[in-house]
């Protein structure tokens, strides 16, 4: 009795699946590791940067909301996270966008002038003048 498949075709299909699975797994692992390494490098660079306080104006604010959908047997769940950013313009005309916590973001308004404190890409504070 034959089913139209030989053991050799099953072996080659299985090895093809295993090869593709391995490549996809290694690709995802590489992306995760690269993201972690990039974060650690930025953290180290920020720590090595001087803490600066400069006159600046808040020229823009924005949020970045990420939504993920998950489900279980009975319920559908939506998970979201929000990142907050403010763009500051210093006296030289240069602009920099820094990520802030939500409570800090809420205290800023576009057009505010004051002293911006930062270290590398790390926001430390803003004091209105």
Say whether both 3 and 59 belong to one domain.
no
Say whether both 55 and 118 belong to one domain.
yes
Q: Which residues contact 23 (CB under 8 A, 6 or more apart)?
A: none
Kindly report the number of other CB atoms within 10 A of residue 88's CB atom: 23
Q: And the tokens for 111?
A: 């057009």
Say whether both 41 and 82 belong to one domain.
no
Say whether both 18 and 61 belong to one domain.
no
CATH number at residue 89: 2.40.50.660
Look at 2 and 69; give whichever has higher pLDDT: 69
Mean pLDDT taken over the chain: 88
- What integer is the mean pLDDT of 49-59? 97
Say whether both 27 and 65 belong to one domain.
no
Give 3-state DSSP helix, strand, coil % of the chain, rounded to 5.
Answer: 35, 45, 20
Say whether both 20 and 58 belong to one domain.
no
How far apart CA 73 and CA 65 sit, in angstroms, is: 26
pLDDT tens figures, 60-114 = 999 999 988 766 565 677 788 999 999 999 999 999 999 999 999 999 999 999 9
- Burial annotation 66-87 (CB, 10 A radius, 16+ → b, else e): eeeeeeeeeeeeeeeeeebebb
Domain enclosing residue 105, as ranges: 50-128
- Domain count across the chain: 2
């Amino acid at each position: 009795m034959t089913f139209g498949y030989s053991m050799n075709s099953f072996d080659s299909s299985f090895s093809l699946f295993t090869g593709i699975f391995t490549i996809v797994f290694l690709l995802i692992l590489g992306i995760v590791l690269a993201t972690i390494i990039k974060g650690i490098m930025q953290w180290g660079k920020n720590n090595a940067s001087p803490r600066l306080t400069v006159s600046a104006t808040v020229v823009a604010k924005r949020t970045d909301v990420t939504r993920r959908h998950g489900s279980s047997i009975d319920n559908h769940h939506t998970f979201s996270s929000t990142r907050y950013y403010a763009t500051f313009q210093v006296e030289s005309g240069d602009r920099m966008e820094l990520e802030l916590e939500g409570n800090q973001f809420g205290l800023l308004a576009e057009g505010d002038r004051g002293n911006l404190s930062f270290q590398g890409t790390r926001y430390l504070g803003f004091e209105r003048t």
